[in-house]
Structure 1
Amino acid sequence: MKQILCVAAFVATCLFAKAQNIKGRVTDAATNTPLSGATVIYAGKKIVTDNNGTFTLECGKAQSLSVSYVGYTAAQKTIGDCGEELFVALQPTAQTLDRVEITATSNQNKALLYQPNSITKLSPVELKRSTGLFLDDAILQNVPGVTMSRRSVSGGQQFNIRGYGNGSRGTRGISSNFDGQGYKVYLNGIPVTDAEGITTLDDIDFGSIGNVEVVKGPSGTLYGLAIAGVVNLHTIRPEKGKTYVSQEALVGNYNLQRYTTQFATAGERSSLLLNYGNQKTEGYTIHDNSRKSFVNAVAEFTPNAKQTINTYFGYSNSYDQRSGELTIQQWDANDFSGNPEYIKRNAHSNVYTFRAGAEHTYQFNNNLSNTTSIFGTSFTSNVSSAGGWTDKLALNIGLRSTFDTKFAVGNGATLSGTTGVETQRQNAQTIGYGMIDPLGATHVWRYGDPYFIIGSTAAGANGTTSNVYSITATSSLFTEWTLALPSDFSITAGLGWSNMKVALDDRIYSAATPNKPTHYDTTYYPGLSPRVALNKVFSKEFSVYASYNRAYKAPVSSFFYIPYAATASSETGVVNSHLKPETGDQFEIGTKGSLLKGKLNYQLALFEAIFSDKFSNKNVVNAAGTATLYSYVFNGGKQTHKGIEALLKSTVYQSSTGFVSAIMPFANVTYSDFKYDDYPFSTTLSTVVNYKGNRVAGVSKWVTSAGFDFTTKPGLYGNLAYTYRDPFPLTSDGLANGVPYHVTSYSLLNAKLGYRHSLSRHFDLDASFGVNNIAGIKYPIMVFVNQIPDAYMVGPTEAVYFGTVNLKYNF
């Protein structure tokens, strides 16, 4: 009997001891991949995670533990029930290039170190250094060679990648930044750029973005008509093994308010993220209010080992007032009263969008997989400006399907490739209206009077000035292959083919021009977009590469035809058969590295991009040379862009036991030598100027940023960031009102201090306070290139203060 009792006591003791052991897992918060070798400090002892990122410790000796890993922000975790597994997700600090993966590549190794071109990735560390609501803050600080501007406090956002201008804004001027053209933007794999090639970002909830990838330079092989580059946006991802609900409130001066409610859950086979955001501000100047509401739902399912399904749904309601551009005289005089012609018409941009997509990946075997996504966007907007009121209703639908293949070819070499198709179609109706003073044509409008309304003073007119129905469709076929040879040497070659169909119906009839055509259509076949690249990785730590890429940009629907002129020849009112897409060719060499066990990361790129067949303007005048009969766009320009971009991130100090956990400085610099090369342009009547040898408008020669992030063991964290931008020409001839003129240089200094802590097993707190533009510098958030007298959109002229509190409940 005693033997039985002894055995039972021994078994009970073992079971009790086992019950007191708690297991945990440490992962990368951005990718959910396990972190092997992470340090866990518990009850004064160090434990190291295994190859699966897991650890085991004896429960009951302490109420919390801390976890640290090189290149990640240390975290503290409160221990609750010993029977529940602990999940600890660490946020990356300076992301090591051998871990950062990119979206689209033929290389089976998707790490950034193995990609032979210039790509910059932004994680939550960079995206949340400021408010996290305005993406241009993160782009200007962290992406060399790329700038981002906005036409109002929270609307009209645009990218400028390596100085590419949108070509001609019809007949107004070259290098125009009137709207977003030349680059492509994707959100969770769904094109934000419409089928015509125009990108509107007013409706994007940048506060929910957790990952940004910028591909710089012509990208026609894998992305079609992307002559300037590609921006891939991804919403935040739930942390595997966690379920939580959080509420965040951000408030600041200029009556900035943002409230975000979020629910997330993720298991081994599925995840769900629900996000609601409400945002508003009074803006930086008169008539600059903004209000936005966003809803996002992201779900991922893994039915079995061969299949993965991702879905996305988003709704947005965005309303941004526009004060109008300031003239140079207003800017110099610190007169920020805006443009009365805008304000009297209640200038604004109101955008409603529904965006949805579903992606299915099927792994046939170890050598072949397919990923197919279908997507659609419903876009409705009403916009008013000095020119009147415009309603637009557009529907975009499309799909992208790729086959990824991988083969062993002997002697340690592998051949991997991606082959696929992307197609998109847009049906859109755009109606323009005139606007009149409701108090009568003789009334002199003043601030505070009723806004103008849609209408016309002409007898029998209802105010409609235009009614255009357009169909645009683009398709791309592509294939790219990478031969990975021994010693980490690879050769990449690819070929893309794209087209664009444009059809336009003018639904306004005028008895004054009975012979005016009402239908135009054409299809552009730009040609092939090749890519060739070499990449060599040394000791898994740094690489050197060389690449050549080509891409095209097709004309948009507003100027692919020659406008009808009743007094001119039969050459008007027809499709401009001589107009062809612009061509971009880029040669690039560079090196990337992740040295000192990931504590030092760098990228360096030298490139030359040649944009030929650039769109320009030509005037046709009457026989007497006294009046312009009509103007049209033609291929007449060339630009050569030579540049150097360098980026550095490091962890100069890291400790798992000291008060300061990590200090991580960062810096980047861009040098741009961009010039026009034989670029004629018609100005007034028959005058033609040539901008050959002039600097490309809107581009600074030098742009640099530097700063540092720090974290501490108790939970304090913060950053300091400095940005400088060189002077740059406002116009292609370097003149304004007949005299030399450059936009002046400016510097910005931002700082943020925060505290994050696990209050209990269920509650996490993150509170922060930040200041942007500490010195109160006057600077523009947008400069309007070649649009004189329109010139500036003013940013905040005093320091911007903001505070954030995020409370999370963990189930």
Structure 2
Amino acid sequence: MRYTKAHTISLLLVLNVFFTYAQIKGKIIDSENKAPIADVEILNTNNDIISKSNAFGEFDLPDMGTYEFKKSGFQDKKVTIKKTGYLVIQLNINVSQLNEIIVSANHIPQRLKKATSSIDVITSNDIQRINNVNLTEVLNKVPGVYMQTGSLNTNKISIRGIGSRNLYGTSKIRAYFEDIPLTTGNGETTIEDFELGAISRFEIIKGAASSIYGAGLGGTIHLMPKNAFLNQKYIKTELSLGSFGLTKEIVNFNYGTENNSFRAVYSNTKSDGYRDNNAYNRQTFTINTNHYLNETNSLSFLVSYVDLKSYIPSSVDENTYRNNPTAAAYTWAQSKGYEDSQRGIFGSTWDHQFNEHAKVITSIFSSFKKSYEPRPFDILSENTFALGLRSRLLGTDTLFGKELNWTLGTEFFKDRYIYGTFENLYQDYPQGTGSVEGDRLSNFKENRTYYNAFFETNYNITKSTTLSVGLNYNRTLYKLKDRFVTQDNPDQSGSYGFKGILSPKFGVSHELSKNISLFSNISHGFSPPTTSETLLPDGMINTNIKPETGWNYEIGTRTALYNSRLKIQVSLYRLAIKNLLVARRTGNDQFIGVNAGKTRHDGMELSLKYQWLTSKTFSLNHYLTYSLNHYRFKDFVDGDNNYSGNKLTGVPSNILNTGIDINSQSGIYGTINFEHVGKMPITDSNSIFNDAYNLTNLKLGYRTSIKKTFLVNVYFGLDNVFDEHYASQILINARGFNGAAPRYYYPGSPINFYLGININFLF
């Protein structure tokens, strides 16, 4: 048989197809947030670099064998590949090289040190430094962030002073659990109900610097659930005991194959509480699964359920705070006020890769919350159900020969909020009976809708300089239906939609050298009023009320010195707010919203980390964060009172956090943390201030393994070591009624301990 030129070409084509299919194709991702990792070096057994991952983390390998995956900011990983097909590699972050890690807070994966805005990352190591019940200590280590805690279910978070004037809970700050919004259509956010043991990382964007998350005034808190690990099978159990009747159990199960993984986390937390009427009981269940279907498609599912019953001691007056801090507010103790709620969220995300330059990520999500809260003045029943969709197209291109990364997307969110109040007849029954439901007082149904359209791009002008431009468009609408109209209760039904708001962002980062980078940004943000703030005393909708809006101006630097042993980040910023929303009290625990003026938030944030000693047998690390807050009412007239020039209410003048971490090869580890919180104005008139206070916490532990199958971790912790008397939360501008003194203070816990054991069984 004669071989012609045509035969040769055919043979080459067949061989080409064979070797193409024989190639190993895969993707490299961050093990915690699933962000693709670009420019990962892949080495063979001769330490030759044979491949690199592209902008979407994708790579090709010529054959099976043993390879090492290396990327600054992540731990090296060796993998032995025994068959062809699609492969997913998960890399763990290297906490000593945090500036190099990939953050996904803007959906355009990039190294933290090249970010054009202030982004702080709380790693799983940071979470493990504290007790596993309260996340206050974790968040307060982030400069610019301040979380107050009245009890485990009574919290308030502010970022750069935004949210400090909210009386109860957190508002004007957006939060996401992976891709699922935790912020309601009313702009209110609750994150303290989630199990810390089910969270791997927080990424916090400070200021109105995130176009793609609705341009919230204060910023965005992005919670990353613990990812389900591939090729790992284990069960972790943890038991903790502590002061005030604390008991907590956690079960963490992970099952992973090459392309599919499943993780389930269950927790049960109980506490009698430090104060009267302070018992707490919470169960949580979290499921996270990943399915890498092929080279271009992956699916993930996230489910979280929280069942909570927590009694409420509420705030107390100054005399009680100083002389009897364990006491609950009298009326709350008499009514045995509590919160009984069930909350669930569900989300599914589809990731589709069009080609090496573009991909689309689409998430659908739903959530619900059912709550029953007996209070001294009434009983509140709530039922919320939400649906939404979030989709964005991500791309990487070149423009004038330079790399251009971009994202374009939209988010639609709609929730239905049904709530009503009933009489609380506890005073008509013998003492100790607690709350008794009486006649209905109100019955409302709200439909709350918003949508965001957003665009953001990072353009590498040079190898050292990145330009970021973003734009967000938001439209928010409320519709209120009064379902309890009587002669004494006029119809309060109405609807209102705020004009569309455009929020631009401009940012730039520049690497002066390998170890020093500068960043700056100018960004716009807004915060719409809640439905209750739009209601007038006669029940009508106030169409004159406007959203708060503001501009954030910032400049900062990220620096690594002494062979990256010392890392420093410093930011200077100004946040100028207009149409300030003020809660004006009209009765006992009744308020209306008014636009009362302007505030200016000038501040400095410092973060420092230093490795004193690092060796194979022992490490000693030090950290320090500091916030200097110069926040003022620039133009604030509330009724007959002019507070212009006064300090912003509810924000400390400064916050310092510093601590030392030790780790040894023998398994012994420990951490000690010191926190200073400066004086805080309690009233808009600045006539009353909360005292500055200092807290010291420590934790010691020992880790060991038994036959490489059982990993054991035992620990002991002591919070508020020097038994400081302090107020852990403040109710600003409180007023006393019927001759009672104002109730400003939530007493903080005295010295208290916890201890526990964690067992990890590897299959």
Indicate which of 651, 664, 675 corresponds to 1:723: 675
Deviations 1:395-432 (A, max 9, x none): 01101101112211234x12221111011101111010
**Paired AA for residue 131 in structure 1:** N
Is the Cα–Cα contact under 8 Å of residues 729 and 745 in structure 2 kept in the other structure? yes
Matched, 1:670 2:627: yes
Matched, 1:353 2:335: no
Q: How does 1:139-150 map to 2 (within 5 A)?
A: 139-140=139-140, 142-150=141-149
**CA shift for structure 1 position 718:** 1.0
Q: Give the Cα–Cα distance (whole angstroms) in 2 for the partners of residues 545 and 193 of structure 1.
A: 29
Deviations 1:221-263 (A, max 9, x none): 2111511110001122244432101111111111111101111
- Greater C-alpha radius of gyration: 1
| Aligned CA-pair RMSD | 2.9
Listed as ranges, the gaps of 5+ residues in structure 1 are: 1-25, 39-46, 54-67, 76-86, 167-174, 456-462, 565-572, 621-626, 683-687, 736-740
Indicate which of 422, 447, 453 corresponds to 2:436: 453
**Paired AA for residue 99 in structure 1:** I
Q: Give the Cα–Cα distance (whole angstroms) in 2 for the partners of residues 373 and 48 of structure 1.
A: 40
**SS of the residue 1:451 aligns to:** coil
Aligned residues: 696
Q: Give the Cα–Cα distance (whole angstroms) in 1 for the partners of residues 92 and 212 of structure 2.
A: 32
**SS of the residue 2:722 aligns to:** coil
Listed as ranges, the gaps of 5+ residues in structure 2 are: 1-27, 53-69, 78-88, 736-741
Equivalence for 1:248:
238
Equivalence for 1:17:
none
Indicate which of 584, 595, 604 corresponds to 1:644: 604
Equivalence for 1:520:
494
Equivalence for 1:135:
135
Matched, 1:606 2:558: no
Equivalence for 2:703:
756
Distance change in 2, residues 1:450/1:631 (3 Å) = closer
Distance change in 2, residues 1:132/1:72 (3 Å) = farther
Equivalence for 1:59:
none
**Paired AA for residue 482 in structure 1:** N
Is the Cα–Cα contact under 8 Å of residues 476 and 497 in structure 1 kept in the other structure? yes
Deviations 1:171-230 (A, max 9, x none): xxxx23323210011112111111221113353222321101111111462111511110
Q: Give the Cα–Cα distance (whole angstroms) in 1 for the partners of residues 228 and 533 of structure 2.
A: 45
Matched, 1:714 2:666: yes
Q: How does 1:350-749 map to 2 (within 5 A)?
A: 350-411=340-401, 413-437=402-426, 440=429, 445=431, 449-455=432-438, 463-512=439-488, 516-564=490-538, 573-616=539-582, 633-656=593-616, 659-660=617-618, 662-682=619-639, 688-735=640-687, 741-749=688-696
Distance change in 2, residues 1:91/1:417 (3 Å) = closer
Q: How does 1:278-317 map to 2 (within 5 A)?
A: 278-317=268-307
**Paired AA for residue 770 in structure 1:** G
Deviations 1:288-311 (A, max 9, x none): 110100111000111111122111
TM-score by length of 1: 0.81
Is the Cα–Cα contact under 8 Å of residues 652 and 664 in structure 1 kept in the other structure? yes
Is the Cα–Cα contact under 8 Å of residues 287 and 343 in structure 1 kept in the other structure? yes
**Paired AA for residue 729 in structure 1:** P
Q: Give the Cα–Cα distance (whole angstroms) in 2 for the partners of residues 342 and 757 of structure 1.
A: 47
Q: Kindly, what percent of the aligned residue pairs are identical?
A: 21
Distance change in 2, residues 1:163/1:92 (3 Å) = same
- Give the 4+ runs in structure 1 shifted more than 6 A: 26-29, 31-38, 47-53, 68-75, 87-91, 617-620
Deviations 1:93-119 (A, max 9, x none): 44420124232244xx51111111111
Equivalence for 2:101:
99
Q: Give the Cα–Cα distance (whole angstroms) in 2 for the partners of residues 730 and 753 of structure 1.
A: 36
Q: Give the Cα–Cα distance (whole angstroms) in 1 for the partners of residues 450 and 335 of structure 2.
A: 36
**Paired AA for residue 772 in structure 1:** D
Distance change in 2, residues 1:35/1:499 (3 Å) = closer
Distance change in 2, residues 1:638/1:526 (3 Å) = farther
**SS of the residue 1:379 aligns to:** strand
**SS of the residue 1:323 aligns to:** coil
Equivalence for 2:58:
none
Distance change in 2, residues 1:90/1:99 (3 Å) = closer
Distance change in 2, residues 1:599/1:304 (3 Å) = farther
**CA shift for structure 1 position 583:** 0.3
Is the Cα–Cα contact under 8 Å of residues 472 and 501 in structure 1 kept in the other structure? yes
Q: Give the Cα–Cα distance (whole angstroms) in 1 for the partners of residues 213 and 30 of structure 2.
A: 29
Deviations 1:111-163 (A, max 9, x none): 111111111100011111111221111111x20010112232x1022211011
**CA shift for structure 1 position 48:** 9.6
Q: Give the Cα–Cα distance (whole angstroms) in 2 for the partners of residues 27 and 188 of structure 1.
A: 15
Q: Give the Cα–Cα distance (whole angstroms) in 1 for the partners of residues 373 and 706 of structure 2.
A: 47
| Greater RCO (CA < 8 Å, at least 6 residues apart) | 1
Q: Give the Cα–Cα distance (whole angstroms) in 2 for the partners of residues 91 and 761 of structure 1.
A: 22
Is the Cα–Cα contact under 8 Å of residues 657 and 673 in structure 2 kept in the other structure? yes
**SS of the residue 1:677 aligns to:** strand
**Paired AA for residue 143 in structure 1:** V
Matched, 1:226 2:216: yes
Deviations 1:496-541 (A, max 9, x none): 110111011111122246xx33421011124210101111023333
**CA shift for structure 1 position 704:** 0.5
**CA shift for structure 1 position 560:** 1.3
Is the Cα–Cα contact under 8 Å of residues 41 and 51 in structure 2 kept in the other structure? no
Matched, 1:806 2:758: yes
Is the Cα–Cα contact under 8 Å of residues 71 and 599 in structure 1 kept in the other structure? no
**SS of the residue 2:433 aligns to:** coil
TM-score by length of 2: 0.86
Equivalence for 1:276:
266
**CA shift for structure 1 position 74:** 13
**SS of the residue 2:293 aligns to:** strand
Distance change in 2, residues 1:49/1:409 (3 Å) = closer
Q: Give the Cα–Cα distance (whole angstroms) in 1 for the partners of residues 397 and 608 of structure 2.
A: 36
**CA shift for structure 1 position 721:** 0.8
Distance change in 2, residues 1:725/1:103 (3 Å) = same
Q: After the TM superposition, which of the residue ranges 754-763 and 426-435 deviates more from structure 2? A: 754-763
Deviations 1:624-671 (A, max 9, x none): xxx99x985332210000000000112221112xx42x1111001110
Is the Cα–Cα contact under 8 Å of residues 176 and 784 in structure 1 kept in the other structure? no
Matched, 1:795 2:759: no
**Paired AA for residue 595 in structure 2:** N
**SS of the residue 2:685 aligns to:** coil
**SS of the residue 1:580 aligns to:** coil
Is the Cα–Cα contact under 8 Å of residues 415 and 449 in structure 2 kept in the other structure? yes
Distance change in 2, residues 1:299/1:490 (3 Å) = same
Is the Cα–Cα contact under 8 Å of residues 533 and 594 in structure 2 kept in the other structure? no
Distance change in 2, residues 1:438/1:587 (3 Å) = closer
Distance change in 2, residues 1:526/1:551 (3 Å) = farther
Distance change in 2, residues 1:48/1:88 (3 Å) = farther
**CA shift for structure 1 position 36:** 9.0
Indicate which of 768, 771, 779 corresponds to 2:718: 771
**CA shift for structure 1 position 562:** 2.5
**CA shift for structure 1 position 596:** 4.2
Q: Give the Cα–Cα distance (whole angstroms) in 1 for the partners of residues 351 and 577 of structure 2.
A: 37
Q: Give the Cα–Cα distance (whole angstroms) in 1 for the partners of residues 644 and 428 of structure 2.
A: 50
**SS of the residue 2:320 aligns to:** helix
Deviations 1:653-704 (A, max 9, x none): 1112xx42x111100111000000111113xxxxx10110100011111110
